[in-house]
Amino acid sequence: MIQLKSIPQRLGYVLCAQWTRDIVWTAFTILLARHSQIILGQIMLALSLGYLVRMAVDAGMNDFLLSSFARRDSRPLELLGEITWFKLGLLSLALLASWVITGILGYEFRLRVIALVIAGGLGMDAVTDSFFALCQARGRQDVEMRIRVPASIIGIGFGIACIFTYAGPIWIAMYKLIESVIQMVFAVRALDRNPLGRFSFERLRQLGRRLKAGVVFTCMAFCAMFYNKLNVFFLKTHGGNAQVGSYSVAWETVDGISTLVSGALLGKVIFPMLAKLWHENSEEFCRLAGQVARSLWAVALPVIYLLFVESDRILVFIYGPHYAGASLTQRLLTPCIATAFLHNLAAYAMISMHRQRLLLWFYMSGLAANVLLCIFLIPTYKLEGAALALTLTKVWVAALTIGFFQYTARPLSFRQWIVLIGTGCAAFGLWHGLGPYLPRELAELAGLAPLLVLLWRWRPPNPWKKKEK
């Protein structure tokens, strides 16, 4: 039986690896943004393509692998070998497709090479994730940490060294391939055997049949990834690499906050609790959903407000004066924080209710809307059009999922919605109304005050305080 005291230790290993890479990556992004806006745009465009390749190679297998490796009667090494062969085949096809697609889009040869290098690295990450799934299932997050930390430091550190030595963009892009190769080599050494030694076409066919159960989740992941990245490719075509760089620095802050909450809190803590409560106690499910929804709204609004009113200062302070023009773009992207918080909560609740097929339809409608928005907005408005296309898409999908969530679970009462909307209007009214008469900082603090009051009133309960009988 797993000791409860071991859970914080294992979580600490995971967070240590994640935060180490996040810190090094932040330094790399800031230095690259100050070094060259055009090269930043090229790297970010290549990363967008690379994430699509990684998604294609991963094919939604992580949940399947975790559940399979967790069973003690399974044959983990054989399964790991089969999955590795399967992913390597997908990686080869995905890289070939990415090279052909970048050629069709008319990208210059150097940009195609950069995209191929970074996509290859991210695809290799998807292959190595199978080994990390085995580590997580067997409670060996310490092994994962000892591999990820040095790999990220060496790989991204190489990219930082290239920036300081004014190396070309292809050399800078090599950071991802170096990081991924180190991870793969360390994983093979930790495994102490060749995972590709066991192979059977019959078992590979059986694996394919077992993976069909997760096809709905795979399709949802593809839709979400495409509508999150498609605007970058449109912006490259109509605005160029420098505009992609400006968009990327505006998106980095918004995406970082969104990923922290939706991935760390909702995905790894709240979702397992909701899935269990839906089957055991529907009333407790609704109570927990309402509590989390109120807390997320209360946290999201001050963050959105501060990013909105201070975006011009934040971007110039972090990335330099060349990105002052991206402040409007970041303001247009700030609603994505609220949609990430609340949409992901609603989506996890729908999965807990076994309504993933309906959720897939919501995602598909979002992808269709995003394609239309990119076609009509980006050629005319370029940078702001790219931000609007993504924000309107996320608002549309969030309206569908949150609407269904509200209809079925009633997380917020009518009175709570009125309080929420009234508080947001009061904050905007105070900031906008007092702006012409007070110094900027005082007007911003006045608008922040009602949001902080709501945050205090809707704060999560103290987990250490025992309920009175």
- pLDDT tens for each residue of 318-342: 888 888 888 899 999 988 888 887 8
Whether 338 contacts 304, CB under 8 Å: yes
Answer with the one of 143, 167, 199 that is the final residue of a domain.
Answer: 199
Same-domain status, 226 and 307? yes
The token duo for 357 is 């097929």
Q: 401 and 297 share a domain?
A: yes
* Distance from C-alpha of 417 to C-alpha of 423, rounded to nearest angstrom: 10
Give the domain-ending residue among 176, 199, 222.
199
Please state the length of the chain: 469
**pLDDT over 60 (residue 269):** no
Cα angle 162-168-174, degrees, rounded to a multiple of 5: 60
Q: 246, 323 in Cβ contact below 8 A?
A: yes
Closest to 367 (Cα-Cα) out of 117, 375, 440:
375
Domain shared by 333 and 239, yes or no: yes
- Asked whether residue 135 is assigned to any structural domain, the reply reads yes
Is residue 1 included in any domain, yes or no? no
Give the pair of three-digit tokens for residue 346.
Answer: 């609603």
Q: Are 402 and 417 in contact (CB under 8 A)?
A: no
pLDDT digits (tens, 9 = 90+) for 106-127: 889 999 999 999 999 999 988 8
**Mean pLDDT of all residues in 6-21:** 58
Residues 189 and 222 grouped into a single domain: no
Question: Mean pLDDT across the chain, nearest whole number?
Answer: 81
Q: Do the domain assignments include residue 187?
A: yes
pLDDT of residue 293: 77
Using pLDDT thresholds of 50, 70 and 90, give the confidence band for residue 65. low
Distance separating alpha carbons of residues 52 and 55, to the nearest angstrom: 5
Burial of 418 from C-beta contacts in 10 A (0-12 / 13-18 / 19+): exposed
Regarding whether 359 and 406 lie in a shared domain, the answer is yes
Q: How many CB atoms lie within 10 A of CB 101?
A: 15
Would residue 438 count as lying in a domain?
A: no
Short-list 110, 125, 103, 95, CA closest to 43 = 110
Q: Is residue 442 assigned to a domain? A: no
Backbone torsions φ then ψ of 194, nearest 5 degrees: -80, 115
| Helix segments in 59-75, DSSP class H | 62-70
**pLDDT digits 0-9 by tens, 399-410:** 999 899 888 888
Cβ atoms within 10 Å of 190's Cβ, excluding its own = 15
Which amino acid is present at 81?
G
Distance CA 456, CA 224 (A): 33
What the block records as the tokens of 186 is 């360390």
Number of domains in the chain: 2
Q: 3-state class of 61 per DSSP?
A: coil
Helix, coil or strand: residue 302 = helix
Mean pLDDT of 446-462: 84
- Residues 234, 309, single domain; the answer is yes
Residue 383 scores a pLDDT above 60: yes
Task: Report if residue 206 sits inside a domain.
Answer: no
Query: Looking at the predicted structure, is the pLDDT value of residue 355 above 50?
Result: yes
Domain boundary, last residue among 170, 199, 228: 199
Q: How confident is the model at residue 179 (pLDDT cuts 50, 70, 90)?
A: very high
35 assigned to some structural domain: yes
Segment 151-179 shows an average pLDDT of: 93
Separation of CA 225 from chain center: 9
Residue with tokens 């995972």: 195
Give yes or no: residues 17 and 119 share one domain. yes
pTM for the complete prediction? 0.82
* Residue 7, pLDDT above cutoff 50: no
Asked if residues 137 and 6 have their Cβ atoms less than 8 Å apart, the reply is no
Are 179 and 244 found together in one domain? no
- 101 and 111 in contact (C-beta within 8 Å)? no
Residue 135 sits in the same domain as residue 170? yes
Task: Provide the domain limits for residue 132.
Answer: 7-199
> DSSP of 354-419, one letter per residue?
T-HHHHHHHHHHHHHHHHHHHHHHHHHHHHHHHHHHHHHHHHHHHHHHHHHHHHHH--S-HHHHHH
Dihedral pair phi/psi, residue 36, rounded to 5°: -160, 120
Tokens 């070094």 appear where?
35
CA 92 vs CA 40, 59, 118, 318: distances in Å: 26, 14, 14, 38
Structure confidence at residue 460 as a pLDDT band (50, 70, 90): low
Mean pLDDT of 151-167: 93
The reply to whether 468 falls in a domain is no
Same domain, 334 and 358: yes
> What is the mean pLDDT of the segment spanning 442-457?
90
- Report the C-alpha gap between 299 and 306 in whole angstroms: 11
Whether the CB-CB separation of 23 and 225 falls below 8 Å is answered with no
The two structure tokens encoding residue 419: 């309080």
Please say whether the beta carbons of 175 and 118 come within 8 A. no
Plot region of 65 (φ>0 → left; ψ -120 to 50 → alpha; else → beta)? alpha
Same domain as 398, residue 262: yes
Mark whether 241 and 345 lie in a shared domain.
Answer: yes
